[in-house]
Amino acid sequence: MVEGMDGAHDMVLWKVEPQCSMAEADDFERLSRLLDRPRVKIERKLSFDERSLSELPVTGNLRPVDSYDSMCSPGAGRSVFDTPVSVARNSFEPHPMVGEAWDALRRSIVFFRGQPVGTIAAIDHASEEVLNYDQVFIRDFVPSAMAFLMNGEPEIVKNFLLKTLHLQSWEKRIDRFKLGEGVMPASFKVNHDPVRKTDTLTADFGESAIGRVAPVDSGFWWIILLRAYTKSTGDLSLAETPECQKGMRLILSLCLSEGFDTFPTLLCADGCSMIDRRMGVYGYPIEIQALFFMALRCALAMLKPDVEGKEFMERILTRLNALGYHMRSYFWLDFQQLNDIYRYKTEEYSHTAVNKFNVIPDSIPDWIFDFMPTRGGYFVGNVSPAKMDFRWFALGNCIAILSSLATPEQSVAIMDLIEERWEELVGVMPLKISYPALEGHEWSIVTGCDPKNTRWSYHNGGSWPVLLWLLTAACIKTGRPQIARRAIELAESRLWKDGWPEYYDGKLGRYIGKQARKFQTWSIAGYLVAKMMLEDPSHLGMISLEEDKVKKLPIRRSASWTA
């Protein structure tokens, strides 16, 4: 799938030479004291993002978390090549990694017809195989976009949103099958022809991906990023254009359509998200459900209440209430719930069943009994008939906090779990994408003997620095910035001198991944976003949604309830 347009801009990439002076910087003591100050007693129950931010002294750039009013980022309108605002604005000496990270991030920028439209996945010149690491991925670009927005550089984000929206309109076929109209590409590549002086685009909707799976998460990330752009710039005009309104409706049409589903969760194939290889997450993976919930809430805030928009808004409200109840009731696991499942009866029939999914207690893995602390909890990886995946997945749980899919109490419990099981979930390099790793016969059956997803590597228990920005956002929202600071300090001890690897291997994340690319763009951007959010917690408003914003619909019993 190729599009041609006249005009071109050479994308020049240079290798970044890592430096070894790793000066430690205790930059955040003042912020921690501010966030840990005693709470003010207010009669109304505040949501977690309100409590963590609204009680800070109102100084400088502090903004409301979820007001849909104009919220221009500090330094808006800056050039793509200016000095980072976060460095210039700081009253304390920044870590030397920050400047190097910005330089590396800017070297990854991709241009189309002279305009910046995204960042490539990696600029590792030492790797012999390029594969698709020279492409702009929607999910990979999100932390880069957040970094540019926080630094007052929205142009590249706007261009990216418009370009990927245009790609959505392309006809998408895999063999003889046509994909849904609303599917967003996993990635796109800019091809420059120096002879004809033209730029062309090639998009991948899953037809070139390993396993040929369409990216379910791309559309959700696009909606989330559109809201982040609107929150950061205060520019409502982009989201309100007919093109963006249609784009959102097309994405929503794919996931709100009625079918044979008996649950409000979204049924997915393996490999349709960040975990893009066979890892036993088919069914109803937590990552997709959390992103689905967040995208629905973001779309609800941006859709215009016209004839078409109003219909979708009503459908979104209905789905949000059903999805929120389902996830909080059946995906949540803590010590008490684990004990209840352990004592479940099976083969129950009728609406009075307690074990609604017929989970067999003997299927509970041994590791979970020692792993589960008395204080803490999390959303399990997957729930479907007779199947409960007890693994921890970091991205889904962080998004659950940020989207307020997790209740305030559940959000606190997730952070408690991370603290209680720091060695297992963080180790020496944040953050484990999943825990524990699949091993032995189970690994053979579940992954199909995947040589890349061996135990404690890649998506099978590997440690991914990009997740640092989501962890930091969750920490700030729950009023626990000290957890984020500790994780950032771990990353700063190695990430730069190791050359910004894609992931780390081993139980503790001590080793650079055996197939990890160096100068991985989202590892770089994830670090920058985490630093900037700690410096200015008001940036959290771009990616966080308040718990009490979801409207409640009356729950009516179906006719079959009393039949």
CB atoms within 10 A of CB 554: 5
> Cβ atoms within 10 A of the Cβ of 255, count?
18
CA–CA separation, 434 and 451 (whole Å): 17
State how far the alpha carbon of 227 is from the alpha carbons of 63, 146, 318, in Å: 16, 11, 21
**pTM of the model as a whole:** 0.83
User: Residue 535's CB: how many other CB atoms inside 10 A?
Assistant: 21
DSSP 330: I
Contact 164, 110 (CB under 8 A): no
Helices (H) and strands (E) in the chain — how many of each?
A: 19, 16
Residue that has been written with the tokens 């771009």 in this structure: 542
Peptide bond into 436 cis (omega under 30): yes
Asked whether the beta carbons of 445 and 408 are under 8 A apart, the reply is no
Amino acid at residue number 82:
D
In whole angstroms, what separates CA 12 from the centre of its chain?
A: 29
The helix/strand/coil state of 178 is strand
Cβ atoms within 10 Å, residue 385: 11
CB 513 within 8 A of CB 505: yes
Q: What are the Cα distances from residue 340, in Å, to 326, 355, 364, 413?
A: 17, 10, 12, 18
Q: Coil, strand, or helix at residue 379?
A: strand
pLDDT tens digits, the chain, 563 residues: what are they? 555 444 444 333 333 333 333 333 344 344 344 444 443 333 333 433 333 333 333 333 333 334 333 334 444 444 444 545 554 444 446 789 999 999 999 999 999 999 999 999 999 766 666 788 999 999 999 999 999 999 999 999 999 999 999 999 888 878 888 888 999 999 999 999 999 999 999 999 988 877 788 899 999 999 999 999 999 999 999 999 999 999 999 999 999 988 888 999 999 999 999 999 999 999 999 999 999 999 999 999 999 999 999 999 999 999 999 999 999 999 999 999 999 999 999 998 888 889 999 999 999 999 999 999 999 999 999 999 999 999 999 999 999 999 999 999 999 999 999 999 999 999 999 999 999 999 999 999 999 999 999 999 999 999 999 999 999 999 999 999 999 999 999 999 999 999 999 999 999 999 999 999 999 999 999 999 999 999 999 999 999 999 854 455 444 444 444 43
Pairing relation of β-strands 173-174 and 177-178?
antiparallel
Axis crossing angle, helix 468-477 with helix 394-403, rounded to the nearest 10: 40
Distance CA 2, CA 252 (A): 26
Contacts of residue 236, defined as CB under 8 A and 6 or more positions apart, other chains included, come to 230
